[in-house]
Amino acid sequence: MGKYDCLFEPLQVGSIQLKNRIVLEPMGIHSHRLVNADGSFTEDGIAYYETIAKGGTGLIITSAMPVNSAFDLSKGSKAAMDLAGEEFIENTKKLTERLHRYGAKIFMQLSAGAGRVQPRFIADGEPVAPSDGLPNFWNPSITHRALTREEIERYIRCFGEAARKAKEGGVDGVEIHAVHEGYLLDQFILAFCNKRTDEYGGSLEGRFLFAKKIVEAIKESCGKDYPVSIRYSVRSMMKGFNSGALPGEVFTEVGRDLNEGIAAAKLLEACGYDMLNADNGTYDSWWYAHPPVYMPEGCNLAESVEIKKHVHIPVVCAGRMENPELALKAIQEKQIDGIGLARQLLADPEWPNKLMKEQEEEIRPCIACHAGCLNRIFKGQDLCCALNPAVAREKEYAITPAETKKHIVVVGGGIGGMEAARVCALRGHQVDLYEKSGKLGGMFIPASAMSFKESDKRLIAWYEHQMEKLGVNLHMNTAVDSKMLKELNADEVFVATGSSARTLQLPGFESDRVLTAVDALMNPEKVQGDLVIIGGGLTGIEIAYEYARKGSRVTVLEAMDKYLNVDLAAANRNFLLAAVDLYHIDVQVNAKVSAYANGSVTYTNPDGEHSVKADTVIVSIGYNSENSLAKELGGEHVHVIGDADHVSNLMGAIWQAYEAAVKL
């Protein structure tokens, strides 16, 4: 018996049997490179899903496909199921045939649309919702009109026809998007959003009528044994429009509470749905459906466990379920029936196969950053992964054996340097990595020091393991200069010397109570009492959140007119904004710091001069590239990567290293 055998037991969903309990949750891949004009998948799109099927996932649920071209289409798109013809069906057969080779089943997710959460910046058409006057999530000044009864009936017919086309394309079942995340169907079910007085409003049964008629139409079109899953949020975690609750917060639920969530689950089963694909949240509390690193692992598990007690159909739980021990316990104890993974299968599509072989140390962990996935999707870019640049470009970015084996020297053992070393070693090159300190990880070591960044720590451990496994020659506590490099006689050199924290040269800032962000993160014993953090970027706000949760009084002074003015996914940003409010973090913008004296920081803003008590001052104003070695070298065989080239984020360092190394 293997440790993780229970994850690989079959699961019955309606009339079909999945080979295991692992489900790829749907993620948008609707870019022009991955999806044809009719919404079917291109060769690149098929290869993306095929890689995950090959990695051992039992059920793959595709990204959402609109069923009704009258609403919610992306600008210029004709990709809706009511417009799909024979070419769509034939293209879909190519997808299903490829996935079935690996024993995977495939469900196509069919969408009723977004309603009040429709991103107006990427869509045409009227803003519609269950009721008149609902504010748009992205731009509350836009209000939505109510769908007519006739429009609802058209939607229902479109679902039945869309499922028939999917079935003709060899798709094993469909999933309805969604009584989940505050999308249009969810808005119909939430009394807070649905003020209708016809049969589609009022009681819970009335608010569920739309979802009930959808599954009935599909069963009539495709047969009663054709599986239909529903994407379902148990609780809304919603305090109001554009206002969500954080974990542990005491609040009044205006959306779906747990009691109604249980009643809703029973209704969905009674309607004829064959599986509940569960999580929590709405766009207003987006951090449950798309949990960033600040959310706890298994953040939706307790609610999914509760509804399983009340239904007989399978319950899958999504939301940071990637920790193998967490997944194992949930299935082993029959708390739920399936594990829903999304970003983890981007970071490492081989997650299932590696667990089957009990190779946990080989799994590249998702760090819940959203940088390469959600953030890119909402910019209209290809889905990818900050840690795995080959996602959705598997053939173009494949790691292949090098035609000529070379001697590679990497200077710097941060994440960028280790990624370059890893890819070069996989290609068959001889790699020597030189690190001036005694630890691998570089600036990611302090970045991973906060209590909520356990997955970051696991990433460093994964890289350390890869260095050992791949035979990279490590030279620790070894500084390298240009003279030494010449003596090493390398064919190619990667300069990955990273960056250093910026400081402020102001009166009083020579005090030992003034720390850089790096110093504070590496030496938490130095952080005491009331804190003033200078700099309201991502690191500054994360540190503020870390210490405010522990009860510290925290003030953040930001020189610009906006804090968190960085490229950040909405789920991450909105969580931190909510945390600033919940933990009473005092953020002052347009604040110009002038001195630290007598235990206080002096600053000016448009209202005049102020002082704030500070037992500890943390300077978090960014980083400077450590590029002196790079400037000395130069030449076509020298590759400057990561912060040594320009200060960026983890995704920038990894992608730059990968793209250079995969070509050598």
Residue 506: inside a domain, yes or no? Answer: no
Do 173 and 204 have their domain in common? yes
* DSSP H or E stretch at residue 142: none
Residue pair 578/572 in contact (Cβ under 8 Å)? The answer is: no
Instruction: Note the pLDDT of residue 77.
Output: 57
Contacts 24+ apart (CB under 8 A), 379-382: 380/31, 380/122, 381/31, 382/29, 382/31, 382/33, 382/34
Do 421 and 518 lie in one domain? The reply is no
- Are 128 and 146 contacting, i.e. CB atoms less than 8 angstroms apart? yes
- Report the domain count for the chain: 3
| pLDDT value at residue 123 | 53
The answer to whether residues 631 and 589 belong to one domain is: no
**CATH at residue 535:** 3.50.50.60
Please give the full DSSP string across 154-196, using - where no structure is assigned.
HHHHHHHHHHHHHHHTT--EEEEEEESBT-HHHHHH-TTT---
List the structure tokens of 126: 């009227």
Residues of the chain whose pLDDT is less than 70? Answer: 72-78, 120-125
Amino acid of residue 10: P
User: For residue 69, what pLDDT is reported?
Assistant: 87
pTM: 0.95
| Per-residue pLDDT, 72 | 56
- Do residues 462 and 422 both lie within one domain? yes
The tokens describing 148, both together, are 């007519």
CA 147 to CA 563: how far, in whole Å? 39
Inside any domain, residue 389: no
Domain that holds residue 482: 407-500+626-661
- Which strand (E) or helix (H) includes residue 315? strand 315-318
Q: Say if CB 339 and CB 18 are below 8 A apart.
A: no
183 has catalytic annotation? yes
Q: How far apart are CA 173 and CA 58, in angstroms?
A: 13
Q: What is the pLDDT of residues 356-386, one digit of tens each?
A: 999 999 999 999 999 999 999 888 889 999 9
- What integer pLDDT is reported at residue 435 of this predicted model? 98
- The answer to the question of residue 391 being in a domain is no
Cβ atoms of residues 459 and 367 within 8 Å: yes
pLDDT tens digits for range 134-174: 999 999 999 999 999 999 999 999 999 999 999 999 999 99
Which element (helix H / strand E) includes 7?
none
Q: Which two tokens stand for residue 40?
A: 């079917």
Query: How far is C-alpha 365 from the chain's CA centre?
Result: 12
Residue 352 lies in a domain: yes
Q: What is the CATH number of the domain that holds 645?
A: 3.40.50.720
Same-domain pairing of 147 and 191: yes
Please report whether residue 451 resides in a domain: yes
Co-location of 268 and 208 in the same domain: yes
CB 200 within 8 A of CB 210: yes
Which tokens sit at 435?
A: 């690190």
Would 400 be classed as within a structural domain? no
Same domain for 423 and 310? no
Same domain? For 525 and 652 the reply is no
Residue 385 maps to a domain:
no
Same-domain pairing of 547 and 593: yes
* Same domain membership, residue 324 and residue 245: yes
Q: What is the 3-state secondary structure (H, E, C) of 513-539?
A: CEEEHHHHHHCHHHCCCCEEEECCCHH
Of residues 372, 385, 379, 378, the one with CA closest to residue 114? 378
- 423: in domain: yes
For 620-640, letters b (16+ CB in 10 Å) and e give bbebebbbebbeeeeeeebbb
- The sign of the CA dihedral 474, 478, 484, 486 is positive
Structure tokens belonging to residue 247: 């974990």
Q: Do residues 448 and 355 share a domain?
A: no
- Residue 74 is predicted with a pLDDT of 54
CA distance 112 to 568: 28
- Given a contact cutoff of 8 angstroms between Cβ atoms, the answer to whether 218 and 159 are in contact is yes
pLDDT value of residue 121: 47
Query: Do 155 and 52 share a domain, yes or no?
Result: yes
Question: Among residues 49, 183, 273, 596, which one is catalytic?
Answer: 183
DSSP per position, 624-646: EE--HHHHHH-STTEEE-GGGTS
